[in-house]
Amino acid sequence: MVASAFPEATSAGARMLAEGGNAVDAACAVGFALGVCEPQASGLGGQTVAVAHIEGETFSLDGSSRVPSLAHLERIERKRDLRIGYQATTVPSTPATLSWLYSRYGRLPWRVVLEPAIGIARDGYAITPLQQQLQERELDHFNSVPGRIAAKYFLKNGETPYEAGDRFQQPDLADLLDLIARSGVESFYQGDVAEQIDRDMREHDGFLRADDLALIPWPIVRRPLRRRYRGVTLATMPPPGAGRILLLVMMMLNHLRSSALEEFGPEVYHFFAEALRKSFLRRMGRPFDPNSYAQVRNKTLLSRTYARGLADSIRDDVDPNLPTIDPDIDEFGETTHFSTMDNDGNAVAVTQSIELVYGSKAAADGLGFLYNNYLSALETDEPSHPYYLRPGAVPWSTAAPTIVFRERQPWIALGSPGSERIFSSLAQVLSRIVDGSAPLDAAIDAPRLHCSIGGKISLEAERFDPAAIERLADAGYAIDPHEAFAFYLGCVQAVLRRQSGEGFQGAADPRRDGSAAGPGSIATEA
């Protein structure tokens, strides 16, 4: 089973399974395809992280990108340059990460895995209403980048947003993917492509150079963080990802009666909001670097005793000891997530991104992909910070791809985009499944909320009981209403191995353009 944020990408993964490939082949095909048909969220110019269970082994894959060797803060004149334009990009790691995963665990020929992405790029796909809206939203940013190469590639005639339903073709990207299929991922990082990126960056005062690319940012294998919740085990992403915070939220929820969580109501919303605030505050206040910051060890941070203490500290109203003003952090980082499972017990949960929507709004001339803007995800004020912007540093991330185990076997693989809304989205979906016994699709479709550190609750207002919203406002929260199935509140893509009977289930979040499919089905929009 495959679930991803775009039907053509889901079909690419399902095709791999139908041709005898495993969950890794499917994941790699989906990853490359999403870079073609969901360019606003990921692509060859971004980064990828994953949690995988393959051949009985569970591991996390830290595919963080790297800060280029020339990127020093004193060379960045405006904070805007960390977000928009050629100076904002880090060394892309998505091609290296997907290639590494395939080279160790894939079954099908490399060319077969990339064929769907090449075909989508060459033949085109239909622009969705969401993509039209995002192009309209980002139009001024596209036009503000010198050279307007990204505008040339991603706007209609290089000038205006595409209309929903327009066919969008990317011949330059198809040629680049074809080269990678023929010559391996090294052809992206070394040789003519690297020299072309180098020239492009020099022409536009960017920092990325062929020397940076030649080092190839291969991913690092890390041990996943694991904790039990109501009889199941969650395995998720360690730092620089945000799996610790997801687990801490779940550990706090574990101190409520499961029956109380079966039906989310005002008191549960309040408890959940305070749990989010307390958990996220611990991530902000203690970024992971034992050499620079006194750490609460994972063994302590994720202990029942520690979680119970935090849960017991939740008051009837908004905790006045927590910040009342949100920190100055980017809330609009966007990403994509996809999940795959196969008949052999393998499962892969992958989160990949180019950071903000359409990344830096700068593209590789002649190559067709967008550069990321991950420099915006690094610290710029405190040199002792582990994610301070310096050459070779990696950005810290809110990604939390997760696999849920039941009786030591993968049961659910899931994840979400959405910056700090990632772990609030995942926690709600997991609780609805485990505590409320909700079907996978119903848990994902259910009304969703998020609470910031400063106490602002964002929710799908028309899907919540007005009395519950009033109760939250009376408790001291600032209410931030959103439309039903809001883009802002994440996009969970999940697959599940059925516990009663054979087979799998998959569900894609209706908040974006996703779908789920197995090898015998056709991917349809959620």
pLDDT greater than 70 at residue 183: yes
Evaluate whether residue 326 is within a structural domain.
yes
Could you tell me the residue range of the domain that residue 341 belongs to? 2-221+333-377
Evaluate whether residue 434 is within a structural domain.
yes
Residues 241-262 pLDDT 10s: 889 899 999 999 998 888 878 7
pLDDT greater than 80 at residue 524: no
According to the model, what pLDDT value does residue 298 have? 59
Instruction: Tell the burial category of 66 from Cβ atoms under 10 Å away from its Cβ (0-12, 13-18, 19+).
Output: buried
Section 92-115 average pLDDT: 98
Evaluate whether residue 395 is within a structural domain.
no
Evaluate whether residue 390 is within a structural domain.
no
pLDDT greater than 60 at residue 213: yes
pLDDT band at 320 (very low <50, low <70, confident <90, very high): confident
Find all residues with CB under 8 Å of 126, minimum gap 6, and list them: 164, 165, 166, 167, 168
Judgement on whether residues 67 and 156 belong to the same structural domain of the protein: yes
Judgement on whether residues 198 and 302 belong to the same structural domain of the protein: no
pLDDT greater than 90 at residue 520: no
Q: Which of 377, 408, 442 is the last residue of a domain?
A: 377
Judgement on whether residues 310 and 350 belong to the same structural domain of the protein: no
Judgement on whether residues 160 and 64 belong to the same structural domain of the protein: yes
Evaluate whether residue 118 is within a structural domain.
yes
CB neighbourhood size of 434 (10 A): 24
pLDDT band at 173 (very low <50, low <70, confident <90, very high): very high
Here the CATH number for the domain that contains residue 451 is 3.60.20.40
Residues 335-357 pLDDT 10s: 899 999 999 999 999 999 999 99
Judgement on whether residues 57 and 182 belong to the same structural domain of the protein: yes
Judgement on whether residues 7 and 138 belong to the same structural domain of the protein: yes
Evaluate whether residue 387 is within a structural domain.
no
CB neighbourhood size of 425 (10 A): 27
Section 103-127 average pLDDT: 98
Across the chain, mean pLDDT equals: 91
Per DSSP, the three-state class of 402 is: strand
What distances in angstroms separate CA 1 from CA 11, 50, 277, 339, 505, one per listed residue?
A: 10, 17, 34, 8, 7
pLDDT band at 288 (very low <50, low <70, confident <90, very high): very low
* For the chain, percent of residues with pLDDT exceeding 90: 77
Alpha helices by DSSP H, listed for 384-523, are 421-434, 440-445, 466-474
Find all residues with CB under 8 Å of 373, minimum gap 6, and list them: 82, 83, 84, 88, 89, 354, 355, 356, 359, 360, 361
Judgement on whether residues 263 and 406 belong to the same structural domain of the protein: yes
CB neighbourhood size of 381 (10 A): 9
Structure-block tokens of residue 79: 């904070």
Judgement on whether residues 107 and 23 belong to the same structural domain of the protein: yes
Facing residues of 2 across strands?
340, 517
According to the model, what pLDDT value does residue 290 have? 47
Evaluate whether residue 452 is within a structural domain.
yes
Judgement on whether residues 343 and 468 belong to the same structural domain of the protein: no
According to the model, what pLDDT value does residue 306 have? 86
* For the chain, percent of residues with pLDDT exceeding 70: 94
Judgement on whether residues 139 and 277 belong to the same structural domain of the protein: no
Judgement on whether residues 21 and 85 belong to the same structural domain of the protein: yes
According to the model, what pLDDT value does residue 137 have? 94
Q: Where would I find the beta strands (DSSP E) of 376-492?
A: 402-406, 409-415, 449-451, 456-460, 478-482
Total residues found in the chain within this entry: 526
pLDDT greater than 80 at residue 200: yes
According to the model, what pLDDT value does residue 385 have? 81
Find all residues with CB under 8 Å of 428, minimum gap 6, and list them: 264, 272, 443, 446, 448, 449
Any long-range contacts for 437-442 (C-beta under 8 Å, 24+ apart)? 437/262, 439/505, 440/412, 440/494, 440/496, 440/505, 440/506, 440/507, 441/505, 441/507
User: What is the spatial distance between Cα 398 and Cα 242, in angstroms, rounded to a whole number?
Assistant: 5
Tally of domains in the chain: 2
pLDDT greater than 80 at residue 285: no
Evaluate whether residue 262 is within a structural domain.
yes
User: What is the spatial distance between Cα 525 and Cα 164, in angstroms, rounded to a whole number?
Assistant: 15
Judgement on whether residues 344 and 434 belong to the same structural domain of the protein: no
Give the DSSP per-residue string, 201-225: HHHTT----HHHHHT----EEEPPE
pLDDT greater than 50 at residue 487: yes
Give the DSSP per-residue string, 506-523: EEE-TTTT-EEE-TTS--
